[in-house]
Amino acid sequence: MTGSNLTVGLLMAEYADYFTGMDCFPAQKTLAGELGFTTSRQVRTCLRWLEAVGWLHDTGTTVESDGPHRGSKIYWLTVPDCPHRHDGSALPVVRD
């Protein structure tokens, strides 16, 4: 994990619901500005990595934007290989 991935992940946690880790939808431009990144592309790269390794879940929905750009994606914070569903119902842990 790079420092950039870690800082984007931690900042995403600041935007998520405190109790559930859901409903996290800061704009990429906002994240870039708060972290001192020069472009939103750096944020997108980190978000893709966090999704790929299981720390973020893209819900497939967006929050509408008032401006000319698309709305922000809604993410949930997740834990890789976590033995429960996002709704809290138990799942059996299956090992190979």
What would the pLDDT profile of 20-73 be if each residue is shown by its tens digit? 888 899 999 999 999 999 999 999 999 999 988 889 998 888 887 666 556 788
pLDDT(11) > 90: yes
Token pair recorded at residue 38: 């020069």
Place of tokens 């976590």: 82
Give the pLDDT of residue 94: 41
Counting beta carbons within 10 angstroms of the beta carbon of residue 4, is it exposed (0 to 12), middle (13 to 18) or buried (19 or more)?
A: middle
3-class secondary structure, 42: helix
pLDDT, position 1: 67
pLDDT at 32 (0 to 100): 95
C-alpha 47/C-alpha 44 separation (Å) is 5
Asked if pLDDT for residue 93 goes beyond 70, the answer is no
Check residue 42 and give its pLDDT.
92
Which of 14-18, 34-38, 77-81 is the least confident region?
Answer: 77-81
Q: What is the pTM of this model?
A: 0.75
